[in-house]
Homo-oligomer: A and B are copies of this chain.
């Protein structure tokens, strides 16, 4: 039997998953959902890997959340039978036909936030068992109707002959320092208000689906009966800087080689085409080095990350491999065709990012 290659021999830049940390993250979120009596429908947009999705279901997830019709197709092809597209899908033309084909082979839920979108969904999904879930804005102000108006969309769906199961929201404003508690309260209130709005028009089967990784620790089982966190499988520099994860919870990093050095600035070969360019105003930089917590990724270009080390820290040598945690792991994974899986410092597997680039 060939010896497993060591992580130190990797061709950088590449994304490396620590299998044990991943497993611990999967187990912990499954336990959290179970302990709260809340269904877990993890968002597969983060990992896009069939192997990880299978493990999520083994650990008790009720199904998967996806962001696009294309992602749903990949996971349906992979044998998954219960999928929710948490997006206000515009089901015109070919997209409508693709949605219909999906609904004929899996239990399918689709988001909607307007009467116009619902009309198209009704045409596309006529004769199928697909369900509509009304998207509600809980404070992120992106998509979704105001909670008190959820009944209008639900009633429109019923008029078109669609089955409505309930409401969902994404409290994306939890992605700000010190905003997690407020966002979790907003999320709970919005779901309860929207649920009441559906009851007033006598539509919906009571689904109240929420959840982001930052608010997952604050889940309120009186308000939510389903949660859809995504990032928790890997975590990232953002989650650590937001206080939603510790460095030991970060399961995916980019392996990068130090290629240039000028004073206390080192350049490594993982740039924005590996890490993604997400850099919220509150972030300390364009990623973090878990093994060098005082270092800062001051600048990022396509193939270079410029990392500044503190005065009193020891500098990695030219040619050494360092680990870089991306700010936003979903963006990083979507840049890679595959991730390298390691355990105990050895490469043990490689997983295809099966739904990479399936944005439509």
Interface of A with B (CB < 8 Å)? 9, 11-14, 45, 67-68, 87-90, 92-95, 113-114, 116-117, 120, 137, 141-144, 172, 257-262, 265, 267, 269-274, 276-279, 299, 301-304, 306, 318-319, 328, 330-331, 334-337, 357, 359-360
Contact = CB atoms under 8 A, between A and B. Distances in A.
B274 A277 contact: no
A211 to B, nearest CB: 15
Contacts of A279: 277, 279
A360 B318 contact: no
A6 to B, nearest CB: 11
Contact of A117 (B13, B14, B143, B318): B318
Given A277-B276, A302-B330, A114 B261 contact: yes
Contact of A304 (B143, B269, B273, B276): B143
B359 A90 contact: no
Of the candidates A45, A260, A360, the one having the most CB atoms from chain B within 10 angstroms of its own CB is A260
A90 B28 CA distance: 40
A122 to B, nearest CB: 14
Contacts of A117: 259-260, 318
Contacts of A141: 262, 265, 306
Given A13-B359, A143-B267, A302-B330, 9 more contacts: A13-B360, A45-B303, A120-B319, A172-B301, A276-B276, A277-B277, A277-B328, A302-B334, A334-B335
A301 B274 CA distance: 18
Nearest to A146: B262
A260 B337 contact: no
B68 A142 contact: no
Contacts of A11: 93-95, 360
11 contacts: A11-B93, A88-B259, A88-B260, A114-B261, A117-B259, A142-B260, A143-B260, A144-B260, A270-B359, A273-B330, A302-B330
Contacts of A265: 141
Contact of A277 (B14, B144, B267, B278): B278
Nearest to A304: B142
A71 to B, nearest CB: 10
A334 B273 contact: yes
A67 B273 CA distance: 11
Contacts of A92: 257, 319
Given A272-B278, A319-B90, A336-B357, A113 B260 contact: yes
Given A11-B95, A12-B360, A260-B114, A331 B277 contact: yes
Contacts of A143: 259-260, 267, 304
A257 to B, nearest CB: 5
- Give the 5 A-B CB pairs with smallest separation, nearest first: A277-B277, A143-B260, A277-B278, A67-B303, A90-B259
Of the candidates A259, A335, A359, the one having the most CB atoms from chain B within 10 angstroms of its own CB is A359
A318 B330 CA distance: 27
